[in-house]
Amino acid sequence: MRFEFFEYMRWAKVDAGRGEIRLTSSGLSDLTLADLQLCGADLSLTPDGYYPPPKLTEAYARHYGVPGDCVFATASCSYANAMALLATVESGDDVLVETPCYSVLEHLVRFAGGNVVALPRRPERGYRLGPDDLAAVWTPRTRLVALTNLHNPTGVRLSATEIDALGAFASARGAVSFVDEVFLDFAADARTSFRPGQDRIVTTSVTKAYGLGGIRIGAVFADPPRVERMVRLNDLFVVNPPWPSTPIALRLFERHAAARARIDAIGAANRPLLRAFFDAHDELDVVWPEHGIVCFPRFRDRRDASPFCERLLAEQSVNVVPGRFFGATEHVRLGFGLATEVLREGLARIGRALRSG
């Protein structure tokens, strides 16, 4: 078996933790069991019925307004993406994958035997997409359109109308649309784009936006036959999600209002710091995302950002994600879902590095 190494994930595990100030994470800082009013005795090691787990399936269905037989609750959004794409892409299929992109989508398509066709999301258009963009790169063998919303790495949100227009274009030509919505919960008015019968697959998680990445719980929303195909495919891999994580996820659903308030408070404190930083540094331009805790500035002179990232870490002990991991070398991705004073200091150090060339 041949497959490509996912270089960004190796970097995220090995190198993203370097430096005194790390603006590398795309999720919020971690919650604790105490935050959720849980203790060790609440974490069951006993499976919750047969797979898929009934309580977790019901909780996802209720929270997102999706029929229960359209929910595949599983181990993390990353794994949900793998199951969704491997259960859908056939050998020789062309798959339109947005670029810049979270490159695991490209890797999974090729692992399934498909061909990646780049679907550009252009900064001059605010990284938005319309049917004309699909038409420009469509091929007779296109069977899937792969997107993220909020867009990873820019944080830009496509509206429900835009997602529906893209889905309708794909469906009319016999293709399925796939939308990774793991970041969408950062938006207070978030509503999943999944609707039964629309040739659309959606993945999500209760972890990324809430500071629970370590519990590795996610879900796929799809029509029942595709859900059944993923359940059967999953039997070859992890079989069940991690059972001790299930009560943590269920408590998050129960305490969603408090978790939502935390997201809003961090955004209210940190987003003005970013806006002021970009206003003061015209070396960078950015399409400002209205939601989430990542942005994707680029150097106005279009230089390769990687040397700057290395110098920033060496001289200022600040770590950011080089844009090369998303196919956009002139960019960096900044995560700002951390303590406000830490972010303030990190931005001050980035400013010093920019002024020194």
Which runs of E-coded beta strand occur in 165-269?
Answer: 176-180, 200-205, 218-221
- Inter-residue contact 206 to 174 (CB < 8 Å): no
User: What CATH number has the domain bearing residue 114?
Assistant: 3.40.640.10
| Three-state SS at 119 | strand
Contact between 34 and 161 under an 8 Å Cβ cutoff? The reply is no
Residues 246 and 288 in one domain: no
Residue 287 in 3-state DSSP? coil
Residues 6 or more apart whose Cβ sits within 8 Å of residue 124: none
User: 4 falls in which pLDDT band (50, 70, 90)?
Assistant: confident
Asked if residue 76 belongs to a domain, the reply is yes
Same domain, 71 and 20: no
Q: What is the pLDDT of residue 47?
A: 73
Q: Are residues 316 and 220 in the same domain?
A: no
CA distance 103 to 333: 14
Task: Note whether 248 and 310 are same-domain residues.
Answer: no
Inside any domain, residue 53: yes
φ, ψ of residue 111 to 5 degrees: the values are: -60, -35
Which structural domain, as residue segments, surrounds residue 306?
Answer: 7-30+257-355
Q: Which of 255, 286, 316 is the last residue of a domain?
A: 255
Three-state secondary structure call for residue 273: helix
Of 219, 239, 255, the one marking the end of a domain is 255
In a domain, 153, yes or no: yes
Work out the angle at residue 75's Cα, subtended by the Cα atoms of residues 72 and 76, and round it to the nearest 5 degrees: 100
Question: What DSSP letter does each residue of 8-59 carry, written as one string?
Answer: HHHHHHHTTT-SSEE---SSPPPP-TTTTT--GGG---S--SSSSPHHHHHH
Tell me: do 224 and 337 sit in the same domain.
no
CA separation for the pair 259, 212 (Å, rounded) = 11
Are both 225 and 127 inside the same structural domain? yes
Rounded percentage of the chain residues whose pLDDT exceeds 90: 87
The number of domains in the chain is 2
Whether residues 207 and 64 share a domain: the answer is yes
Give the mean pLDDT of 150-159.
98
Domain end marker among 211, 226, 255 = 255
Q: Residue 1: is its pLDDT beyond 60?
A: no
Residues 70 and 195 in one domain: yes
In this structure, the answer to whether residues 103 and 119 fall within a common structural domain is yes
Q: Are 24 and 111 in a shared domain?
A: no
Contact call for residues 312 and 353 (beta carbons, < 8 A): yes
- Does the residue 36 lie in any domain? no
349 in a domain, yes or no?
yes
Is the pLDDT at 16 greater than 90? The verdict is yes
Q: Is the pLDDT of residue 180 over 70?
A: yes
Q: Are residues 86 and 231 in the same domain?
A: yes
For residue 70 the two structure tokens come to 């359209």
What are 59's two structure tokens?
Answer: 């909780």
128, 287 in Cβ contact below 8 A? no
Q: Is the pLDDT of residue 51 over 80?
A: no
Residue 129 covered by a domain: yes
- pLDDT at residue 166 is higher than 60: yes
Q: For 298-351, write each residue's pLDDT tens digit.
A: 999 999 999 999 999 999 999 999 999 999 999 999 999 999 999 999 999 999
Percent of the chain whose predicted confidence (pLDDT) is above 70: 98
Lowest mean pLDDT among 104-113, 236-245, 263-272: 236-245
Taking alpha carbons only, the member of 97, 143, 140, 141 closest to residue 120 is 97
What local confidence, expressed as pLDDT, does residue 49 receive? 66
Per the domain annotation, does 35 fall within a domain? Answer: no
Give the dihedral of Cα atoms 62, 147, 25, 247; nearest 10 deg.
20
> Domain of 321: which CATH number?
3.90.1150.10
Q: pTM higher than 0.85 for the full model?
A: yes
Residue 37 lies in a domain: no
15 and 131 share a domain?
Answer: no
